[in-house]
Structures are given as C-alpha cells and as structure tokens.
C-alpha cells in the first residue's frame, strides 16, 4: 500500500496498484476569495486554458467551487488512458489536509474486489450518474466504501461520468460533510461548470494519451522531442553518450525450435530484464531490434562522462544478475516453455558522439542514434563469442571507469581503420 502525507494530517493511504505521482497543497491560495458560478465559467472559458498541469487545474477548480458556496470536503477526477501498464490516472483532493494528489493506477487494480465494488466501476459500466448518502445502511451494503465515507462524516456522495468519445472511461466524484448534503438549488449551475471543466479534461486526457503512447514506443527523451515538434526528417542534434548494444546469445537456435507465441513471451521476459536495468540507471532505451537492444546514457551539463559510464556499467552488471535470477527462478509464464534456458546476453559499452534525431522517409520516420560510434559499439558486441565475456567495454569507455578491468587486447573491427582496445570487468564471464 502506498502512503503519502499532506500538510500536518495523517498520511493518506492508497491501495496496491496505485502510486503517487505528485501532489499540490496550495489550498485556498489556488482560487479567489470570492467567486460566483459566472466567474468560474469565465475562468474556464479563458484563463484555465493556460494551465498545463491537470493537478493544478483540478485543485484550482475545486477551491473555486468552494468559494462559490459549494460545501465540498472531498473530490476526485478519474481518467482512463492508453498505456501498456496503466489503467489510468486520478486526482484526489481533501479539504482536511488541503492537498490534491495525482496518482497512477495499474491495470491490475481493475481485477480487484475493491474496484469491482466501487461506485466508479458502476458508472464506468452504465454511463449513468450516481448519488448516495454514506450514512444510510442501504448505501453501505451496496458499496462497502460508503462505510469509510460515512465514518469520515460524509453525508452526500455524487459520481458523475463524462465521455471523451474515445472509449476511455472518465468520471468525477464530489462529497460533502454538510448536514443537508449538497444544495439542490445549485445543481444546474454546478452541472454547467462541470461540463465546461470536462472540455479541459478532454484536452489534458488527449495530451496524456499522446505522451503515454509516444513514450512507450520511442522512450521518454525521444518522445518529449517528438511532442515538442521535432518531427522534421533530419532534425536532431549531435550528442555525446555512452552507447549500449546488446544481443541475445543463441537467438537463432531458440527461434528455430520454439513456437512464435512462446518466443514472444521469452523475448518479453528477456527485454524486461535488460531494459529494466537500463532505465533503472538513467539510460534511454531507443530500439528493440529482433533480439538486440540499443540504448544510450547521454553525457551533458547534468551528467558527466564518468557518471554516465558508471551508470551504464552498473546497468550492465544488474542486467547480468537479473538474467541469472530469471534463469534460476523461471517466471510462471515461462514454466510451460521447454528448452529456453539458460538465457545469455552479450553487452557492449562504448563512448562517443552520435547523431540523435529523425531518419527515414517523409511518411515514416524513426527516432534513433546513428554514427561511427554506434557502428563501433555493434562491432565490439560481435566479439562476445570470440572473447567469451558477457560485458565488453571499449577503451573510450574504460577511461572513465575507476574499477579494475581486464584488458582483452586490441581487435580489428570491420569498417574501423584502427584496432580498438577492449576491456571487461573482472570476474565477469
């Protein structure tokens, strides 16, 4: 269970599968002291469009509703998204700690009883609004979470669905502790500003889905460049980086005797191990090429060459350890696949200048790194079979490493004019 603390109040608790992304505690400062529904509508039609963060937009909207006389004590916004691991995002606000949390929700939560028995599951399925008094025994029987709301003093709970027209599920909930619940007379005005707010939610949802999809396929750094407008063919920049090139040993043999579906399962487990190590140490995964992986650890103002080199080496060593663990304790999804292990990998690490940008045809571009340094890293990786070491490091990379390395001699590389000195961490085979 994830916990998060607000402003002096007991820590918030979130169920497994829900993780805090960020939070804001601006409180009443996020809205005018006095506000009418007409003021809120004007803000939503004009000023709110300048807000780029849904967290801050939602927080400000809630406090503006309070300034307009709506007795809110809890509110939440829930949006579905397109992501290989995430069901969606949510923003949870409470008056008691004056804090709004942004959380991400894993797909696995939709299979839990806490989700199935939640009012949100009902309105996602029916598309109909829902209103209950958590103080009523009938409401608590219908939805177990009403007992928690009732004990917290909530007297009126409203869940409102809204559609993006894309098939993803979105909703907002509002709750109050006021003895008389929400005023019926304010219903039409609240509905009007909620409809306007939904238009802003649509905008942020579309942006979030675009970010998730692009980042999942291109990586966070390349994805950010594409979304910022760097989509012209040939657009890019020369950067220094530590280059990672790796390959699965025995891939051809595995492909020959394993069915395609089993091979996909196996490759996913393998790439999750290697890519996970790269990402955990600050690297950027650029491309999966059959059984190969291309990644970089950029060098720049924020990261020195030494730091990038040590991060890349630490990632390679972690990948080796994690792959050994995968071989020793097979994942359940690999249990029914015969003759797949032990999986072995070869990793080459090289430092140099690369061109990081768009290449391809006018209609189909790819964001990648190219240049002599990438070619050299690939040629070094091909020495794995000859040298019998799973991690190979070029002299350009080794000069930034301050741990003992074994010198494996100088080697001729195809397409490279001068022999390249190659090293490997000691005790690594």
Residue 186 has pLDDT above 70, yes or no: yes
Residue 5 has pLDDT above 60, yes or no: no
Pairing of strands 405-411, 420-425: antiparallel
Contact 67, 31 (CB under 8 A): yes
Contact 349, 316 (CB under 8 A): yes
Contact 255, 337 (CB under 8 A): no
Residue 3 has pLDDT above 60, yes or no: no
**CA 281 from centre of chain:** 15
Residue 165 has pLDDT above 60, yes or no: no
Q: Across residues 169-184, what is the average pLDDT?
A: 91
Q: Determine the Cα–Cα distance for residues 9 and 196; give it in Å rounded to an integer.
A: 32
Q: Calculate what percentage of the chain has a pLDDT beyond 90.
A: 44
2-217: CATH topology is Beta-Lactamase (3.30.450)
Q: Across residues 355-371, what is the average pLDDT?
A: 78
Q: Closest Cα partner for 32 from 22, 24, 42?
A: 42
Contact 284, 219 (CB under 8 A): yes
Q: At what angle do helices 187-218 and 37-45 cross, to 10 degrees?
A: 30
> How do residues 38-55 score in pLDDT, each as one tens digit?
999 999 998 888 888 899
Long-range contacts of range 258-262, CB-CB < 8 Å, 24 or more positions apart?
258/337, 258/339, 258/340, 262/337, 262/340
Q: Across residues 342-364, what is the average pLDDT?
A: 86
Which range, 58-72, 123-137, 343-357, has the best average confidence (pLDDT)? 58-72
Distances (CA, A) of 370 to 234, 285, 294, 301, 425: 11, 14, 11, 22, 27
> What angle (nearest 5°) sits at the alpha carbon of residue 350, between those of residues 344 and 356?
110
Q: Which residues of 154-181 are buried (b: 16+ CB within 10 A; e: fewer)?
A: bbbbbbbbbebeeebbbbbbbbbbeeeb
CATH number for the 232-425 domain, one of 1.20.1090.10, 3.30.70.1230, 3.50.30.10, 3.40.50.720? Answer: 3.30.70.1230
pLDDT of 261 reads: 86
Residue with tokens 């020369």: 238
Residue 1 has pLDDT above 60, yes or no: no
Contact 205, 168 (CB under 8 A): yes
8-state DSSP, 250:
T
Residue 255 has pLDDT above 70, yes or no: yes
pLDDT of 330 reads: 64
Q: Across residues 70-93, what is the average pLDDT?
A: 87
pLDDT of 164 reads: 52
Q: Closest Cα partner for 244 from 318, 159, 172, 135?
A: 318
pLDDT of 163 reads: 63
Q: Across residues 310-327, what is the average pLDDT?
A: 93
Domain ranges of the chain: 2-217, 232-425
Q: Across residues 298-317, what is the average pLDDT?
A: 92
What is the chain's alpha carbon radius of gyration, rounded to the nearest angstrom?
27
Which range, 196-200, 202-206, 361-365, has the best average confidence (pLDDT)? 196-200
Mean pLDDT for all residues in the chain: 86
Sheet with 130-132: strands ordered across? 18-24, 99-106, 86-94, 74-80, 169-176, 156-163, 130-132
Which stretch of 105-114, 206-215, 318-327, 342-351 has the lowest confidence by average pLDDT? 206-215
Q: How confident is the model at residue 74 (pLDDT cuts 50, 70, 90)?
A: very high
Which range, 6-10, 167-171, 264-268, has the best average confidence (pLDDT)? 264-268
Q: Across residues 210-233, what is the average pLDDT?
A: 69
Contact 318, 281 (CB under 8 A): yes
8-state DSSP, 100:
E
Q: Across residues 379-400, what is the average pLDDT?
A: 92
pLDDT of 15 reads: 77
Q: Determine the Cα–Cα distance for residues 275 and 285; give it in Å rounded to an integer.
A: 7
């Amino acid at each position: 269970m994830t916990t998060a603390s607000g402003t002096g109040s007991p820590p918030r608790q979130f169920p497994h599968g829900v993780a805090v992304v960020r939070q804001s505690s601006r409180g009443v400062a996020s809205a005018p002291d006095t506000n009418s529904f007409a003021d809120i509508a004007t803000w939503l039609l004009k000023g709110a469009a300048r807000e780029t963060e849904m967290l801050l937009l939602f927080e400000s909207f809630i406090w503006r509703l309070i300034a307009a006389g709506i007795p809110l004590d809890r509110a939440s916004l829930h949006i579905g998204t397109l992501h290989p691991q995430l069901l969606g995002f949510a923003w949870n606000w409470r008056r008691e700690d004056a804090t709004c949390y942004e959380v991400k929700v894993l797909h696995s939560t939709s299979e839990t009883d806490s989700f199935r028995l939640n009012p949100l599951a009902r309105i996602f399925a029916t598309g109909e609004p829902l209103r209950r008094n958590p103080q009523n025994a009938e409401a608590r029987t219908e939805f177990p979470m009403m007992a928690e709301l009732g004990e917290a003093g909530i007297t009126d709970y409203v869940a409102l669905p809204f559609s993006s027209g894309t098939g993803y599920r979105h909703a907002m909930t509002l709750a109050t502790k006021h003895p008389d619940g929400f005023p019926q007379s304010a219903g039409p005005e609240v509905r009007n500003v909620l409809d306007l707010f939904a238009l802003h939610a649509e905008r942020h949802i579309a942006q979030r889905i675009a970010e998730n999809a692009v980042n999942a396929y291109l990586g966070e750094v390349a994805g950010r460049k594409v979304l910022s407008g760097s989509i012209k063919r040939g657009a890019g920049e020369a950067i220094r980086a530590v280059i990672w090139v790796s390959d699965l040993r025995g891939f051809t043999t595995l492909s020959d005797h394993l069915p395609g579906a089993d091979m996909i399962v196996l490759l996913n487990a393998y790439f999750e191990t290697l890519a996970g190590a790269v990402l955990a140490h600050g690297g950027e995964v650029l491309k999966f090429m059959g059984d190969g992986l291309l990644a970089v650890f950029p060098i720049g103002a924020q990261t020195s060459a030494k730091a990038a080199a040590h991060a890349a080496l630490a990632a390679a060593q972690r990948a080796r350890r994690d792959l050994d663990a995968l071989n020793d304790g097979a994942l359940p999804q690999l249990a029914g696949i015969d003759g797949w292990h032990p999986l072995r990998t070869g990793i080459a690490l090289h430092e140099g200048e690369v061109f990081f940008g768009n290449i391809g045809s006018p209609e189909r571009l790819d964001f990648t790194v190219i240049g002599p340094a990438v070619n050299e890293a690939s040629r070094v990786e091909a020495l794995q079979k000859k040298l019998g070491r799973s991690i190979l490091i070029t002299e350009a990379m080794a000069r930034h490493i301050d741990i003992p390395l074994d010198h494996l001699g100088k080697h001729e590389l195809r397409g490279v004019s001068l022999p390249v000195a190659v090293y490997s961490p000691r005790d690594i085979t």
